[in-house]
Structure 1
Amino acid sequence: HNNTPFDGGIRTGFVELDNKLGEVGKGDLVIIGARPSMGKTTLAQNFAADMMINQNLPVLFVSIEMSGKQIAQRMISGIGQIELRKVLSGKAQIEDCGKINTAAMILEKAPLMIDDNARSTTSTIRRSA
């Protein structure tokens, strides 16, 4: 994790990317683009997790493809470092249950709002923000 102070900017949680970008400014619109199934949502969730957990910044996560429950399950998987299939299936090993519970408690306390309205527009996202 990069502990270098940024002048009012926000870190992504990926040191090399932060070094390339310099910083993401508050109020910046960041668009992640790639072909389908390349990990765009996972990357955005990793950014969000670092921002809300390590930097204590409020996060609005907007998805028109996934439900809030699916987003939360993926975040629990990432925060707890547990395979997503174990979180989704409920067939986690005993040692994973503690990780899942801890990750869920961290997520519950995090300053996160999820907007999963499939009909979101830039105007409705702006109102949510």
Structure 2
Amino acid sequence: LLKPKQIVNGSLFVVGARPKMGKTTVLTEMAKNVSNQGRTVLLFSMEMTDCQLAERTLSQQSNLNSNRFYEKLEEHEWDGLCNAIGRLKQCPNIWIDDTPAMTLQHIQSESRKIKRKLGDIGFIGVDYLTLMQTEKADRNDLAYGNITKGLKVLAKELNTVVVLLTQ
């Protein structure tokens, strides 16, 4: 009997692509899927505010361009939007931190705090590496290396999966 393949806890995955290629969309879809399993999800976003992330997620779920949210909607569009809101309300276990210029220490501290409060964390998403506040280093690649190393250690410590976006 074969089991479906899944991401192993303790793993760090780095997703890199050019701007506007859908990295955040992939991250929010992963978060939604883990949340639908009843597991806690932490999203740390330095690129978007919590409201922007919520708007993007609603847009994905309703299949409406988010620009339509600011215009008069047709009845079928309202129905789709209300259905999407209803589905997202069933996922109250997604925590978003949009603190600007976050540090690795902030992510570690907040993640540990949530783990103590709620128990297991199913998924941690970080959007994105080069917007994080780094410690002093001779070169940026060394500073970013320290961040990825710290996130890998955090994944193992909390027995979860960490997905880090980068450009």
TM-score category of the 2 structures, normalised to the smaller one: 0.7 to 0.9
- Name the structure where strand makes up a greater proportion of residues: 2
**Is 1:45 the counterpart of 2:28 in the alignment?**
yes
Letter in 2 for 1:57: R
Which structure 1 residue ranges, 5 or more long, are not aligned? 7-21
Which structure 2 residue ranges, 5 or more long, are not aligned? 112-167
Q: CA RMSD in A?
A: 1.9
**Deviant stretches of 4+, over 4 Å:** none
2:80 corresponds to which residue?
99
* Distance of aligned partners of 1:72 and 1:29 in 2 relative to their CA distance in 1, 3 Å threshold: same
Instruction: Give the one of 25, 28, 31 matched to 2:8.
Output: 25
* Distance of aligned partners of 1:90 and 1:127 in 2 relative to their CA distance in 1, 3 Å threshold: farther
**Is 1:125 the counterpart of 2:107 in the alignment?**
yes
SS of residue paired to 2:15: coil
* Distance of aligned partners of 1:91 and 1:5 in 2 relative to their CA distance in 1, 3 Å threshold: farther
- Aligned residues with identical type, % of pairs: 28
Equivalent residues of 1:49, 1:79 under 8 A apart:
no
Letter in 1 for 2:108: R
2:118 corresponds to which residue?
none
* Distance of aligned partners of 1:31 and 1:92 in 2 relative to their CA distance in 1, 3 Å threshold: farther
Distance in 1 separating the partners of 2:71 and 2:64: 12
Cα deviation per residue 1:3-50 (whole Å; 9 max; x = unaligned)?
A: x855xxxxxxxxxxxxxxx42122322221111111111111111111
For CA contacts below 8 A with separation 6 or more, give which structure has more relative contact order: 2
